[in-house]
Amino acid sequence: MAEKFDAIVVGAGPAGNAAAYTMAKAGLSVLQLERGETPGTKNVQGAILYADALERIIPDFRDDAPLERHVIEQRMWVLDEKSFIGTNYRSDAFNSDQPNRYTILRAPFDKWFSGKVKAAGGLVICETTVTELIQEGKKVIGVRTDREGGDIYADVVILADGVNSLLAKKAGFHGELEAKNVALAVKEIHFLPEEVVQSRFNIKGNEGVVIEIAGAVTHGMVGTAFLYTNKESITLGIGCLLSDFKKAGIAPYTLLEELKAHPAIAPLIAGGEMKEYAAHLIPEGGYKAVPTLYGDGWMIAGDSAGLVNAVHREGSNLAMTSGRLAAETVIALKEMKLPCTAPHLARYKAALDDSFVMKDLRKYKELPDVLHSNPHFFSVYPQLLNRAAHTMLMVDGQDKHSKEKTIRGSFVQQRSLWGLVGDAYRMWRATR
């Protein structure tokens, strides 16, 4: 265990696997450490895989990756207690030979990805916890594990150990995570026959549907819910900021039970057998919450670096892209025979800044603060929108002009004219 590697990767999620595979494929000696029994053991939940990010790492991944369904339809719903108003986009263009998005189950997917790391020549060791980073002064030179004689050395360590990166925190690379920057999501997987899933969502073959949900189901807390179709199951979940959970005193599973009972959701999961339940922390602080990403002998990627686009619910693509860019930074330095010191590893941050990862996070950098300080976006507006739709669609002998006047009056009564203008301006500034 005293052998020295070119690189050590901590974690076997999308970011860690992307980093380890990219370096191993380039011929570097790579050690990947995972505390789970196998990669993916801790991840039973469904997720969305964005093909472009993985295709840049493994171009032929579709040949054998454990994919569930390719997404051909995106629905966006805003709920009140009894109804929803929403929109959807469905296109047969997504039924191409190379679909853009897939639903996956993380346990088999992570295991498959880690298998690719091994096939490329990387050494993967599971059931091993990294307890701390080994440092000479401020330079990271290796890791200390819970195995006997478990000090392992490397030229660089890439941390991809999840949102609550204890190693980075213990080493002083970032402080305690703020509750307002982290969401807690709870998910269930409901198993149904394949033909039932297809019938309920009007799909065929391996086509899939994703539903993003906001509104009354979060009790005014900053958060959203979601539903993904898998081959023979449905992933259903909901998440809100930890700070809001603490303030409201509502348990996450209470929100999930209410979501399952909502008249818009209940028919979609009726008759399903719930076999899996998971809770997961998600970094949603955005651009302002991203910590220092590199230093002497280390880099940090994926959820550990807070790289999640909560607005578009994108995470796996940011994770895989950051893992790949971290790996490519090491490969380039090795080719130029340069040490993995902070000035040279700054190439990683520059590459991220030049990618969609930081550009998208920067675009929405003000949005987390706007949403956190304006909870009516998750309470008042869902009620008003659903009530407006109900008013216009109810045929009761009242003329449409009067109905429109009633709707405008309800908005002004709830938010005031200047309140509506201010809300529109704040959202425009936060998303432009």
DSSP 309: B
Which residues, 6+ apart, have CB-to-CB distance to 172 below 8 Å? none
pTM: 0.93
| Residue 408 three-state SS | helix
Residue with tokens 């880690």: 114
Q: Give start and end residues of each alpha helix (H) in 242-379.
A: 242-248, 252-261, 266-269, 316-335, 342-354, 356-363, 367-373
Going by their DSSP bridges, the two strands 123-125 and 30-33 should be labelled as: parallel
- Per-residue confidence (pLDDT) for residue 45, from 0 to 100: 57
Written as one letter, the residue type at 269 is: I
Q: Which helix (H) or strand (E) holds 14?
A: helix 14-25
The closest alpha carbon to 407, from 88, 87, 85, belongs to 85
Residue with tokens 């005014």: 220
Going by their DSSP bridges, the two strands 30-33 and 69-79 should be labelled as: unpaired
- Per-residue confidence (pLDDT) for residue 42, from 0 to 100: 64
pLDDT of the chain, 432 residues: tens digit per residue: 457 999 999 999 999 999 999 999 999 999 999 988 877 666 655 689 999 999 999 999 999 999 999 999 999 999 999 999 999 999 999 998 899 999 999 889 999 999 999 999 999 999 999 999 999 998 999 999 988 878 999 999 999 998 878 888 888 888 888 999 999 999 999 999 999 999 999 999 999 999 999 999 999 999 999 999 999 999 999 999 999 999 999 999 999 999 999 999 999 999 999 988 888 899 999 999 999 999 999 999 999 999 999 999 899 999 999 999 999 999 999 999 999 999 999 999 999 999 999 999 999 999 999 998 898 999 999 999 999 999 999 999 999 999 999 999 999 999 999 999 999 999 999 998
d(CA 202, CA 236): 18
In Å, what is the CA distance from 147 to each residue of 152, 159, 402? 10, 19, 74
The answer to whether 13 touches 114, Cβ cutoff 8 Å, is: no
The answer to whether 180 touches 285, Cβ cutoff 8 Å, is: yes
The closest alpha carbon to 325, from 307, 350, 343, belongs to 350
